Amino acid sequence: MKSFLRSQLVSAAVGGIAVAGVFLALGITGRRTVRTVIEEAPLSAEPASDDATGLTPYEIYEDDSRGVVFVRAVVSPSGPNPFALSDDDQSGVSTGSGFVVNREGDILTNYHLIAGAQAGGISVEFAPGVTAVAEVVGSEPKEDLTVLRVDPLGLHLRPLELGNSTTARVGDPTLAIGNPFGLDRTLSEGIVSALQRQISGSDGFAIDHVIQTDTSVDPGISGGPLIDAAGRVIGINSQIQTDDDGDGDGTAVSFAVPINTATALLARLGAPGTSAFLGVDGVTVDAALSALGVPARHGVLVQAVDPTGPAARAGLRPGRIMRVVHGRSVYLGGDVIEGIDGAAANSVGDLKRDLASERPGEVVSLTVLRGVRVETVKVRLTSSPTTRGPQRR
């Protein structure tokens, strides 16, 4: 499955088509019945999870890297830290990564990074020269999780979309973004290697339901996000395990605390949701789709609609006719979202970024091309299903 993400990047670059879909804070887990099936070519690959539509690594990095931060804490001397940047970090400075979960200034990271931190000794760097002092607003040491908060005034916060870790499957492609060895916002790629692992936290308690991955997680990435093929966080990178035979080949596996454990902590703290929920899955319209009969030159072609979401209540319609383009299925005949609140939505990324600035409960106006008619559709957004309450099994 490593080749899955790579193949998407090559396909977009060589084929000139950005047919990359993403569940826009959706949580859609199923497909509707297709009326007509036209097979142009055999499917080259299918994502392991039905709702992981697969963006390219570049697209995910562009969307998510600006929400990943560098965490630094002045702490009391402690035992070995598997993610320390150097031996000096054991004597009073702990460093790692974290990520923004809402525009109110909440940040998720590992508890072991800030354990024993001195008052006022935790700082978060958002970009070179942009640093803020953070306070701990909630921790779950047994799960190696902490929520930090900074004053959002004057900061351009970019929350990451939280996914559902229960949908992860062995073989699913994964990405990690963090600050290995102090190198800010570094991307690495891998797959889910195993599920339901158990690791020991820094206090000796067992952490259950852990995701194992072969994604490269070097010192400094602890606390950063483990991301799925749709750009959603499914875990918080916590530990690595290396071989101890001294051969120096660097063989290691990584472990991430599932995001559902973290969303349960956020719910207990009353932290706001990460972004508003629309409830559609879409692909970017380009010349290749226009050549297949899509009556638009730009926008987001609706692929699926969450039957319980706000888009369904507003009457948005998904495509029903399946075509295969560059080895990926695309559903034609649905609505095309061309804009939101007067701003053009030229791509899935545009729509996702616009939604990230909205709040649950707000009403947005979508410019929708339906057939040959342009209509304005009012939609009252809700909160993301993964942040409406404690973890759902």
CB 237 within 8 A of CB 217: yes
* 209 catalytic per annotation: no
* 144 catalytic per annotation: yes
- CB neighbourhood size of 151 (10 A): 12
Nearest-CA neighbor of 40 among 337, 325, 354? 325
- CB neighbourhood size of 195 (10 A): 16
Residue 26 is encoded by which pair of tokens?
């959706």
Query: Among residues 144, 281, 335, 350, which one is catalytic?
Result: 144
Burial degree of 353 (CB within 10 A; 0-12, 13-18, 19+): middle
Burial degree of 40 (CB within 10 A; 0-12, 13-18, 19+): exposed
Location of structure tokens 């999870």: 49
CB 96 within 8 A of CB 83: yes
Query: Among residues 51, 63, 89, 112, which one is catalytic?
Result: 112
Residue 382 is encoded by which pair of tokens?
């809700």
* 222 catalytic per annotation: yes
Query: Among residues 11, 222, 329, 384, which one is catalytic?
Result: 222
Helix (H) or strand (E) holding 111: helix 111-114
Helix (H) or strand (E) holding 268: helix 259-269
| Catalytic residue IDs | 112, 144, 222
